[in-house]
Amino acid sequence: MSGDAPESSDEDLMLAYARGEMRAFETLYARHRGPLYRFVLRTIRNRALADELYQEVWSRVVAARARYRPQAKFSTWLLQIAHNLMIDHFRRQRPQAGAEETELVLASLDAPEHERPDQQLSEFEQRRRIELALEELPPEQREAFLLRAEQELGIEEIAEVAGVGRETAKSRLRYALAKLRERLAS
């Protein structure tokens, strides 16, 4: 993908795209395509659905280009869109459930048999264990960890993306850390 001048911030590129500069969008997309895709993919845990939601995230970015304000960090704004879409997805799967209940149910789902961590693991399998451990996390904890690991966001930013308070974001990250350690140590 073509790149723009490295000194152009995400916010400048987004504003340039809003003015009609397609190259600015191409640069912006190249910067965020990978981390965003992995964030959506590992949160949703379904590749086909992740592809669909990932495209929808960028569609919403394009549609909202005129409303974008540089006061909001572009990456935070982008991740918030992704977060909301994924929450909507989870709620659609269980429409009667509230957000917390949805996350608890999802957290209790068993991983597929072939992905169970009790099998003898190679290095590949070890990496796979991490993936499985992530998948076993409740969605909100998984999201918090992925925002930290994939996007390198701080607790404040994680709270902003998830739409929760700072303490809630910290708690989620702590719980995710504890469960991952426990899963990998077992």
Residues that bind another protein (CB under 8 A): 1, 17, 20, 22, 25-26, 29, 33-34, 37-38, 41, 51, 54-55, 58-59, 62-63, 65, 127, 130-131, 134, 145, 148-150, 154-155, 170, 173-174, 177, 180-181, 184
Closest approach, Cβ 180 to another protein, in A, equals 5
- Give the Cα separation of 174 and 166 in Å (integer): 12
Cα–Cα distance list, 141 to 7, 63, 145, 146, 159 (Å): 34, 29, 6, 9, 12
Of 83 and 148, nearer to another protein (C-beta) is 148
Q: 95 burial class (0-12, 13-18, 19+ CB within 10 angstroms)?
A: exposed
Residue 130 beta carbon to another protein: minimum distance, rounded to whole angstroms: 5
Q: How far is it, in rounded angstroms, from Cα 171 to Cα 166?
A: 9
In the bound complex, what is the minimum distance in angstroms from residue 154's beta carbon to another protein?
Answer: 6
Given a contact cutoff of 8 angstroms between Cβ atoms, the answer to whether 177 and 130 are in contact is no
Residue number, 5 or 22, with CB nearest to another protein:
22
Minimum CB–partner distance for residue 66 and another protein (Å): 8
